């Protein structure tokens, strides 16, 4: 054993270059550990992006409702007149985008998002947003209630 180590050291002294098998294995193991750390972090970043897109779309729907209310002298009565709910769905795969229409205002949902505007009594409304990629995660539905101005993430159904 000692002689084989001495021969390897002698070859190195004579100009032979390269990495030993142990050195290569250590590098591969380090890369594997870094990948094991990075992949869950990346997946959490994607969830955060989906949540942010839902929040942004809900805020756009709120702006559309408030703009339409201004055009109707501050009244939300047009929501009840248009039916039970107004919905905008972002494309999923090859499906087309279905924009929502509130009075004369239009809002469009981002990909994989569904935004719903529902009358809440005669003086308010509720906007909910969901992203299909968040199904099964801790928080699924983002809700805005005009009565108290609250915005909350609710767990799945």
| pLDDT, tens only, 36-45 | 999 888 888 8
Q: For residue 30, is pLDDT > 70?
A: yes
CB 85 within 8 A of CB 65: no
Q: Is 116 domain-assigned? A: yes
Q: Is 62 domain-assigned? A: yes
Q: Is 107 domain-assigned? A: yes
For 98-125, what is each residue's pLDDT tens digit? 556 666 667 778 888 888 888 877 678 8
Q: Is 4 domain-assigned? A: no
SS3 118: strand
Structural domain count of the chain: 1
pLDDT at 155: 76
User: What number is the average pLDDT over the span 63-82?
Assistant: 76
Q: Cα 20 to the chain's mean position, in Å?
A: 45
Q: For residue 96, is pLDDT > 50?
A: no
Q: Is 3 domain-assigned? A: no
Length of the chain: 157
Q: Is 142 domain-assigned? A: yes
Q: Is 46 domain-assigned? A: yes
Q: Is 14 domain-assigned? A: no
Strand pairing category for 113-119 and 150-154? unpaired
Domain with 48, as residue range(s), is 21-154
- Token pair, residue 77, equals 């009565």
Q: Give the pTM.
A: 0.68
CB 105 within 8 A of CB 88: no
């Amino acid at each position: 054993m000692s002689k084989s180590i001495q021969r390897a050291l002698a070859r190195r002294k004579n100009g032979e270059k390269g990495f030993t098998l142990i050195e290569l294995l250590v590098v591969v193991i380090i890369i594997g550990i870094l990948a094991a750390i990075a992949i869950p972090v990346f997946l959490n970043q994607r969830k955060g992006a989906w949540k942010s897109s839902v929040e942004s779309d809900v805020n756009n729907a709120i702006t559309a409702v408030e703009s339409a209310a201004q055009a109707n002298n501050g009244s939300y009565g047009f929501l009840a007149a248009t039916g039970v709910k107004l919905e905008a769905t972002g494309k999923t795969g090859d499906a087309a985008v279905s924009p929502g229409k509130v009075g004369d205002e239009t809002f469009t949902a981002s990909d994989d998002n569904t935004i719903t505007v529902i009358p809440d009594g005669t003086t308010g409304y509720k906007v909910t947003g969901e992203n299909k990629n968040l199904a099964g995660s801790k928080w699924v539905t983002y809700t805005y209630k005009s009565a108290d101005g609250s915005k909350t993430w609710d767990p799945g159904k």
